[in-house]
């Protein structure tokens, strides 16, 4: 297996940092990249149904799987590994060599797919997966086979022959598309932060406001750093790494920026530095009151964000199950409903296809918003 090439990662990191901050940040991010690669190698070593690793052959299926995933974001790595693991376990249970699988095997796997539903009390039940989930699983495994094929380590891509279910025209994600619910939730988290007055409460408010106003994926938000926030003209921009590893930026609205500034001021005071000198992740863990070794400062993870949002949404009386991606969907849905140009929403989401952005449009164009009334306006 080849080592991670630090020059590539370093060049990307250096381009984002001010000269005075580069050395420490590069060292920290490269170290985390090495740790992530180590975790990836260990996870792939545990995959079933594949030939064992061969240190003499750098092109074994396992070694190529490491290379296939190394260039993807941590979120994509986790998702693709989860789907590949599910497929390989199915192959093992059915005594099938995955490198000799056919399309019919993929169809058989699809027929057995299940998904987990977790209730607010933690109870987990199995259900039939959504069409979007089924398509994602098949596409992930198909991507793996396509990579092995390019390197002559598979005979065919069996997933090419597997029929994907039609995906709904609109996103199935739960969103806060009702104005009253949306504003009530934002007012609740602000009131909660003021009432509690703790660094943790202020951070949680900043997290949720960012999720429900910026449309940034949770991984991009959690990996963003204070050093990557820049003032350009009249805008304060958050620079972050989006899905696929590309750099992106989004303006931070005044309300959300004020929430972050209140949080950072309290955090800077705890760390004993002026606010202007505060650095590190924009959203960080806080010291544990009873565990001294947990000193805080660690970047929040997607799991942290999910737990924080779920807990506070329940406190606020939100009856639908909100996930971090619900915030992104809410921003797109509300922006489209309020008349934002679809191309602007596409740019905000950072997606390549306009169709992807329009999946968040839940407007009923057969009623009052029908184009018929533009051509033939109703009489006053």
- In this prediction, residue 21 carries a pLDDT of 54
Does some domain include residue 168? no
Asked if residue 321 and residue 205 are part of one domain, the reply reads yes
pLDDT tens across 12-47, in order?
A: 444 555 555 555 656 666 787 788 889 999 999 999
Give the CATH number for residue 200: 1.10.443.10
Please name which of 242, 246, 182, 188 lies closest in space to residue 215, comparing C-alpha atoms.
Answer: 242
Between CA 132 and CA 138 the distance in angstroms is: 10
pLDDT tens across 354-365, in order?
A: 999 999 998 888
E strands in the chain: 115-118, 124-127, 229-232, 235-241, 247-251
pTM: 0.77
Task: Work out the angle between the directed axes of helices 324-337 and 199-214 (0-180°, nearest 10).
Answer: 50
Please name which of 54, 47, 324, 291 lies closest in space to residue 174, comparing C-alpha atoms.
Answer: 324
Asked if residue 274 and residue 314 are part of one domain, the reply reads yes
Between CA 132 and CA 223 the distance in angstroms is: 26
CA 63 → CA 51, 110, 252, distances in Å? 11, 26, 41
Asked if residue 141 and residue 2 are part of one domain, the reply reads no
- In this prediction, residue 291 carries a pLDDT of 83
251 Cβ contact list (under 8 Å, min separation 6): 235, 236, 237, 238
Task: Work out the angle between the directed axes of helices 324-337 and 342-349 (0-180°, nearest 10).
Answer: 160
Last residue of a domain, one of 120, 135, 161: 161
Between CA 91 and CA 106 the distance in angstroms is: 10
Report the number of distinct structural domains present in the chain: 3
Give the CATH number for residue 98: 1.10.150.130
- pLDDT, average across residues 222-247: 93
Between CA 190 and CA 89 the distance in angstroms is: 46
pLDDT tens across 156-211, in order?
A: 999 999 999 998 888 888 899 899 999 999 999 999 999 999 999 999 999 999 99
Phi, psi of 240 (to 5 degrees): -150, 170
What's the mean per-residue pLDDT of the chain?
90
Q: Which helix (H) or strand (E) holds 184?
A: helix 179-196
Phi, psi of 299 (to 5 degrees): -65, 140
């Amino acid at each position: 297996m080849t080592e991670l090439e630090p020059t590539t990662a370093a060049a990307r990191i250096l381009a984002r940092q001010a000269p005075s901050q580069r050395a420490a940040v590069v060292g920290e991010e490269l170290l985390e990249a090495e740790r992530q690669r180590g975790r990836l190698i260990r996870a792939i070593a545990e995959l079933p149904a594949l030939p064992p690793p061969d240190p003499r052959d750098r092109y074994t299926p396992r070694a190529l799987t490491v290379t296939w995933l190394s260039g993807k974001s941590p979120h994509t790595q986790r998702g693709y590994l989860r789907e590949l693991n599910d497929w390989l376990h199915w192959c093992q249970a059915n005594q099938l060599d995955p490198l000799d699988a056919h399309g019919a095997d993929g169809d058989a796997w699809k027929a057995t797919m299940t998904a987990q539903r977790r209730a607010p009390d933690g109870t987990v039940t199995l259900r039939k997966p959504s069409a979007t989930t089924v398509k994602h699983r098949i596409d992930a495994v198909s991507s793996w086979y396509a990579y092995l094929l390019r390197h002559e380590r598979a005979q065919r891509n069996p997933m090419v022959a597997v029929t994907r279910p039609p995906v709904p025209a609109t996103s199935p994600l739960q969103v806060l598309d009702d104005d009253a619910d949306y504003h009530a939730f934002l007012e609740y988290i602000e009131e909660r932060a003021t009432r509690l007055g703790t660094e943790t409460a202020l951070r949680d408010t900043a997290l949720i406001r960012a999720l429900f106003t910026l449309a940034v994926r949770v991984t991009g938000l959690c990996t963003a750093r204070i050093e990557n926030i820049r003032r350009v003209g009249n805008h304060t921009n958050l620079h972050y790494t989006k899905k696929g590893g590309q750099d992106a930026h989004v303006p931070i609205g005044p309300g959300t920026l004020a929430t972050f500034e209140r949080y950072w001021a309290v955090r800077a005071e705890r760390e004993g530095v002026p606010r202007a000198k505060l650095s590190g992740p924009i959203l960080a863990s806080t010291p544990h009151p009873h565990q001294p070794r947990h000193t805080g400062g660690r970047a929040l993870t997607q799991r942290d964000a999910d737990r924080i949002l779920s807990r506070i949404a329940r406190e606020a009386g939100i009856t639908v199950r909100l996930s971090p991606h619900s915030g992104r969907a809410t921003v797109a849905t509300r922006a489209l409903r309020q008349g934002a140009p679809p191309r602007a929403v596409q740019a905000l989401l950072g997606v390549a296809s306009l169709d992807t952005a329009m999946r968040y449009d839940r407007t009923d164009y057969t009623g009052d918003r029908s184009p018929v009334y533009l051509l033939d306006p109703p009489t006053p």
